[in-house]
Structure 1
Amino acid sequence: MTLDADRQIAKAVFHIGERTSMRLDVDVSTTGLLSIGALVSMILLSTAVVVRAAMAPRRASAEAVR
């Protein structure tokens, strides 16, 4: 496996109070960044479908009760 020349690198440090901190380092290739974007898009689209289905009127279950 070879490393690509154009990689996206992000670093962050979070401090919570005086004694707690968290350091985050991310190193992603361009292909990996596109894959992450596709995964997030699919999750958001599937969530919208589930919410729409949950909000739809329930005609079939109302007829089954009668």
Structure 2
Amino acid sequence: MATRPLSPLSTAPSAPPVREPVPAHPEEIKAVFEARLGRFATFQASARVTPAGVVTAGIAGTALLFGVAAVLRACLRR
């Protein structure tokens, strides 16, 4: 006897999807920061970045500064 697949709207229990952990990039840089302000306030942060991300952020920052310099130079000529 052949069985047919259940429809997506079936109420039959199904196993929850298994999520594999995301593999870390081999050259990933990690940072963790924690700051406490008195007894009641705590700030925690963590970041992950790759060397390519650092280079890209540097290029974007440089392009932004060149744009600001051009606008300032144009304003000062008037």
> How far did residue 2 of structure 1 move?
6.1
| Residues 8-63 of structure 1, C-alpha deviations (whole Å, 9 max, x = no match) | 21221233343222211110111111111111111111111111111112xxxxxx
Where does structure 1 lack aligned partners over 5 or more consecutive residues?
Answer: 58-66
Larger Rg: 2
Name 2:33's counterpart in structure 1: 12
Q: Which has the higher contact order (CA 8 A, sep 6+)?
A: 1
TM-score (norm 1): 0.67
> Percent of aligned pairs with the same residue?
18
Any unmatched runs of 5+ in structure 2?
A: 1-21
CA distance in 2, matches of 1:55, 1:16: 43
Give the equivalent residue in structure 2 for 1:34: 55
Stretch of structure 1 that moved more, 12-21 or 38-47: 12-21
**Off by >4 Å, runs of 4+ in structure 1:** none
1:48 maps to amino acid = A
More helix as a share of residues: 1
Count of paired positions: 57
